[in-house]
Amino acid sequence: MEGKHSRWSSQPWPCDLLRKIREFTRAIVEDLSNGRSPEILIDRFRNYCTKPDSNCFCSSDLPILKETLTLRRESHLRRLDVLLRVLVIVQQLLQENRHGSKRDIYYMHPSVFSDQSIVDRAINDICILMQCSRHNLNVVSVGKGLVLGWLRFSEAGDMFDCINRPNTAFPVPIHVEEVKDIVSVAKYILVVEKESVFQRLANDQFCNTNHCIVITGRGYPDISTRGFLGLLVDTLHLPTYCLVDCDPYGFDILSTYRFGSMQMAYDAKLLGGFLLDSEKYQLPQQCLLPLTAQDKRKMEAMLRRCYLQREVPEWRLELQLMLERGVKFELEALSVHELNFLSAVYIPSKIQGKHAELKNLTFDGEVKDGYDYFGSDGYGYGHGHEHGYGYGYGYKPYAVPPYYPCPVGAMLFC
């Protein structure tokens, strides 16, 4: 499958940004020449509020306030100095058509900047002033995202052929706006939170078996990973699923993919982990970890975010259940059954359940002569295991596709 993308088509050209930079600096020089203190207005935005029951406008593009930087305030002097120094570096990058990382910029004036966070703040202010993304400034991050599976694309003339090696990890391209010629025969895109889960799927040759694309941001995703994922979603129009740990940080990372930036937002279905998966897939009690005090504070803060109630109330219910029971678990805990349980049973059963809409299909858990009968809808074959679960392949005459792996005695749900 191939297609054209438009997510990046509205981004400003380098010549437009250079013009804006010249106009910005000229206005500052004119104010100083006329004996006036320059005033720089920076819009401030808010992704969410903590009043989910009130009328909020957090999803709009309107700023909530304007911050004014002026030479009249001593606390603003250093911040303006940093902003203008970074702006000069950005102007040079654009003029020479070169790219640099935030760390590169920091080391150009380490005695002045003193800390990386000061540079990060200045770059963010410049993005707001110039109404563009960091990538438009030719400021890139050190890429940490990984991708594997049934995908081929080019970046700046270099071809990346994941299709011929669907179980080999490739770095996510840093210059997303230069990605072209995207081709894929995948059935879906799977986003996983952690590199350990990503490597587990690669070792189990998950993509080769399931004809999909797997992406990880290795924790909280950077802009390149989110941008590349959004580009694939726009171009290929494939269903997208997310797999995160059943803990507050897993759901926060999920929220970063979904709500971190409206420009890079995409609609994805959460596969897991759900707290009830620990029961349905019969995790031993020792695999459940108690929530720490920090976990609880994190969840209480997340539950106050308006967009959870407005956009994904089912995620909010999962967080509430987790908080009520006081436990969490990692996806790797599923390996208590078999090392490849995650790739061979858990994920396929979830995705096949999504496709066949078998959310209300239950099993009686009783295996007789190799069959687990579950009523007039169909039947399943399974074999037991010392840990109390079984592999099964159920057949339902009107399900598409007809065969789906499932744990015997469990419910297929997503």
Q: Report the run of H or E that residue 307 belongs to, with start and end.
A: helix 306-311
Q: What are phi and psi of 69, to 5 degrees?
A: -100, 130
Phi-psi region of 91 (alpha: psi -120 to 50; beta: other; left: phi over 0): alpha
At CA 376, angle to CA 375 and CA 382, rounded to 5? 50
Q: Determine whether 183 is exposed, middle or buried from the number of CB atoms within 10 Å of its CB (0-12, 13-18, 19+).
A: middle
DSSP codes, 25-63: HHHHHHHHHTTPPPEEEEEE--S--S-TTS---TTSS--
Pairing mode of beta strands 100-101, 65-70: unpaired
Please choose, from the candidates 208, 205, 168, 171, the residue with its C-alpha nearest in 3D space to the C-alpha of residue 187.
Answer: 208
Q: Report the run of H or E that residue 319 belongs to, with start and end.
A: helix 313-325
Q: Is the omega angle on the peptide bond into residue 401 within 30 degrees of 0, that is, cis?
A: yes
Please choose, from the candidates 227, 235, 253, the residue with its C-alpha nearest in 3D space to the C-alpha of residue 172.
Answer: 227
Catalytic residue among 107, 393, 395, 403: 107
Which residues have a Cβ under 8 Å from the Cβ of 279 and sit 6 or more positions away?
none
Residue that is written with structure tokens 């998950």 in the block: 206
Using CA of residue 120, residue 123, residue 128, residue 129, what is the dihedral sign? positive
Catalytic annotation present for 107: yes
Residues classed as catalytic: 107
